[in-house]
Amino acid sequence: MTTKIAVLLYDGFTALDAVGPYEVLSRIPGAEVVFTAARPGPVRTDMGSLALTADVPFSEVPDPDVLLVPGGPGCAALLDDRPTLDWIRTADAATTWTTSVCSGSLLLAAAGLLTGRRATSHWICLDMLEAYGATPVGGERIVVDGKYGTSAGVSAGIDFALHMTGRMCGAQVAEAIQLVIEYAPEPPYSTGSTASAPPGLVEALRASNLVVGRNNQAAPHGN
């Protein structure tokens, strides 16, 4: 039996939000991952130097088993885009799981799917979830409420996809995929969350809207 997994693409999405989960979910036995957008063709990421190809338009993916919405700065332009939100609602009516990575949860919330539900997102936009009726959850990398699964910023998509694989297929399949992709992270720095990063770095990145530059380099720990 085929499990159809639809990944939504739009101009300005963050590459790892889509590609990280793809590396995991595409290895599920019987899974078929399809990249879809309002129009088929190449879709540029937020950094501009990379594009992924949307093979089919929304109209050809009306009933996926799993929906995954990546985040990225481009999602801001879609928060009131009726064709995109309508398709998300249509797809959700058929899904077993409706999911997101990073700020992709804002699109689920804008479509009205997270009203009254716990959800997470990238730390810089958690507060926006509440404006769309969701209950924002900080400090948790993965949040599942009913059939809705949301995950924190960018790299959390890999953890999330493994978590979802375990729920859908069992721990043995998820563990096998984790070994295939040799996912055993050992980050060289401890600034991967607002809880462990220097407060000055957090505030500098917040002020720059996550633009990395010389002006937001905080002093190392202990200085």
| Options 75, 102, 125, 169, the catalytic residue | 102
Is the overall model pTM greater than 0.85, yes or no? yes
Judge whether 75 counts as a catalytic residue: no
**73 closest CA partner among 50, 54, 46, 52:** 46
**Residuewise pLDDT in 10s, the chain (223 residues):** 899 999 999 999 999 999 999 999 999 999 999 999 999 999 999 999 999 999 999 999 999 999 999 999 999 999 999 999 999 999 999 999 999 999 999 999 999 999 999 999 999 999 999 999 999 999 999 999 999 999 999 999 999 999 999 999 999 999 999 999 999 999 999 999 999 999 999 999 999 999 998 666 544 443 3
Cβ-based neighbours of 133, under 8 Å, separated by 6 or more: 109, 112, 114, 115, 116
